[in-house]
Amino acid sequence: MLSKASGCKVNLLLNVLGKRADGYNELETVMHPVDLCDRLDFERAETGIRLSCSDNRLPTNSKNLAHRAAALFLQTIGSNDGIRIHLHKQIPIAAGLGGGSGNAAVTLLALNELFGHPLEQVKLGELAASLGSDIPFFLQENPAIATGRGEIIAPLAPFPTLSGTYLVLVHPGFGISTPWAYAQLSKFPAAAKGEPGRAQNLVSVLQNDLVAGGKEFYNSLEAPALHKYPFLALVQENFRENGAIGALMSGSGSTTFALARSKTEAEKLLEKFKAKFGVNLWTATVKLAPE
């Protein structure tokens, strides 16, 4: 059996540049890996793809990205062999953290390993992009600027200023559908057509100024999400009032993250959050980058 951790991400910046002819939105985004993980176990089988999952809210058929990734891999290498996959789910669902995308990427990597590396990295990238815009990011482990529809990945060296920092993550108890968030942008013209250059600017600022970097965090998809769910704006406000370096919705939501200088600061932010909003929501503190 091959067992693999499957992490997630936050978008420190997600700038939508405009709608494309193919219906997707052109964007520039700064993605950062987050060490909050699902676990997937893989075992070769004679035929078929059998997926089981610890969370019964998730489909285990071809609607699940891990299932789709396995089917696409086997079809691409022309194999009639089968695979058994078990997914231990920890990352919240429809949360803007890319949990499902990570599962798909890890499935491609694991099957490639189990079948003796028949596919090159470039081919895995193509398969990943065909499964979903966020998936190629998870084939590598660094922060990255992603462009195109999010599938063109330029890996970055770890940011010096983020060393030792922590994230506080809050899931508000409801998910946001990615197609819904992008479709709503037509009602928010400024958010739908951002000026290019913000991602590169954030990357430059974060080389030596953490506080200035936090001020550059931006997400075009907050326009529709915070309009429909004002609670998300209150969460961010609470984090900022209590000294977060930055607070933002990740991806198409619904998770909000706050950046804190240290573990102690992150725990303090979370305590203040719980004092105001109660203890029933899913929350986590997680180290963003090693010291």
Q: DSSP secondary-structure letter at 98?
A: -
Q: Is 134 in the site for ligand C5P (CB under 6 A)?
A: yes
Active site residue 55: no
What's the rounded Cα separation, in Å, for the pair 146 and 237?
Answer: 28
**Which has the closest alpha carbon to 39: 111, 88, 109?**
88
With tokens 């071809």, the residue in question is 62
Instruction: Between 213 and 251, name the residue whose CB sits nearer to ligand C5P.
Output: 251
Longest dimension (CA), the chain: 57
Residue 162 and residue 128: Cα distance in Å, rounded? 28
Cβ closer to ligand C5P: 78 or 179? 179
Determine which one of 22, 134, 187, 228 is catalytic: 134
150 binds ligand C5P, rule: CB under 6 A: yes
Q: Should residue 24 be labelled a site residue for ligand C5P when binding is judged by CB under 6 A?
A: yes
Q: By CB under 6 A, tell whether 277 contacts ligand C5P.
A: no
Select from 21-29, 83-91, 114-122, 154-162 the region that touches ligand C5P (CB under 6 A).
21-29
Pair type for strands 82-88 and 282-287: unpaired
235 close to 273: Cβ distance less than 8 angstroms = yes
> CA-CA distance, 183 to 252, in Å (whole number)?
11
In the complex with ligand C5P, which residue's Cβ is closer, 159 or 218?
A: 218
Q: Does 68 help bind ligand C5P (rule: CB under 6 A)?
A: no
Output the six-digit token pair for 189: 């013209």
What's the CA gap between 180 and 229, in Å, rounded?
13
> How many positions of this chain bind ligand C5P (CB under 6 A)?
11
Specify the residue, 34 or 181, whose C-beta has the smaller distance to ligand C5P. 181
Q: Least CB distance from residue 16 to ligand C5P, whole Å?
A: 8
193 is catalytic: no
Please tell me whether residue 25 binds ligand C5P under the rule CB under 6 A.
Answer: yes
Question: CB of residue 22 vs ligand C5P: minimum separation in angstroms?
Answer: 9
Q: Which of 7, 92, 125, 132 binds ligand C5P (CB under 6 A)?
A: 132
Residue list 71-110, contact with ligand C5P (CB under 6 A)? none
Buried b (16+ CB within 10 A) or exposed e, 124-145: bbebbbebbbbbbbbbeeebbb
133 contributes a contact to ligand C5P by CB under 6 A: yes
CB 104, min distance to ligand C5P, A: 10
Which residue number, 33 or 132, has a Cβ lying nearer to ligand C5P? 132
**Residues facing residue 93 across a β-bridge:** none
Minimum CB distance to ligand C5P smaller for 22 or for 291: 22
3-state secondary structure of 255: coil
Please say whether the beta carbons of 253 and 157 come within 8 A.
Answer: no
Binding of ligand C5P by 220 (CB under 6 A): no
Distance CA 166, CA 61 (A): 36
Tell whether residue 147 is a contact of ligand C5P (CB under 6 A).
Answer: no
Cα 1 to Cα 236: distance, rounded to the nearest angstrom: 42
List the x/- string, 151-180, binding to ligand C5P by CB under 6 A.
---------------------------xx-
The number of angstroms, rounded, from the C-alpha of 221 to the middle of its chain's C-alpha atoms is 14
Name the residues that contact ligand C5P, by CB under 6 A: 24-25, 27, 132-134, 149-150, 178-179, 182
Which residues carry out catalysis?
Answer: 9, 134
